[in-house]
Structure 1
Amino acid sequence: MKKNVSSSSFGPGGLDLTSAFFKPILNSDPPIPSNRCTKISVVAVGNVGMAIAQTILTQDLADEIALVDANPDKLRGEVLDLQHTTAFLPRTRFTTFIDYDITAGSDLCIVTVIVTFREM
């Protein structure tokens, strides 16, 4: 039996549809590998903030996730939970702080804070 070279061949005749579906882009350069670090910041680690951070982590969208919250104890607990997940996932680094300074240089900053004002 003859082997087909293409992995996109179908049927006993070895119909190759590669050229029909994939056409070269003329006058284009190949992609350039990048060493750029992608950083996403999430402000507030409540339910919404942590759901977003978990999604960023599991979808491998960032090299670094910066988390900001006013409550340092809650922030530490949530980061410990995320770090347990990273044992099974790729390369994401976490930075945390109660100040917004760690969001500097972020490619995306997601603010999940709800501020309410009460009259006295």
Structure 2
Amino acid sequence: MPFLVYPLIGLLTIYTLALGLGQPEVWKEAWPWALAYYGTTLAGDLWTTLRGLERGYRESNLLYAKALQFGSWGMPLVDLGLLSLKVVFLTRLTGDPLLSYPLALAIAGHGHLVGFLWNLGQLTRAQP
């Protein structure tokens, strides 16, 4: 992935935090949607990553590259740890664990969405 993709993920994260801190009651009720968003983007990112690895591409995220050496379950298992860290940080920031979980799922989903779209673009471009 090009370096400019990471500021996009950062902007999406800041925007999500601003929405979560501005309207916490909405986010507390939207946790099923945040879970569905996260699960869908994780599945899409994992699917396109595995297809790319089959074609000879490499994973640009070093943590996921190491995790994928253990098989296709490596990425979701590492993601559980990353989600836990996000929840701990967000609970410290907001003081409300019921708000922290949907925010963490949405923020993690943003990274997977960008990764999925990038991978899909690489997989669908014409091969010479």
TM over 0.5, yes or no?
no
**What TM-score does the superposition give when structure 2 sets the normalisation length?**
0.30
**Greater relative contact order (Cα < 8 A, sep 6+):** 2
Larger-gyration structure (1/2): 1
Question: When you count strand as a share of all residues, which structure comes out higher?
Answer: 1
**What TM-score does the superposition give when structure 1 sets the normalisation length?**
0.31
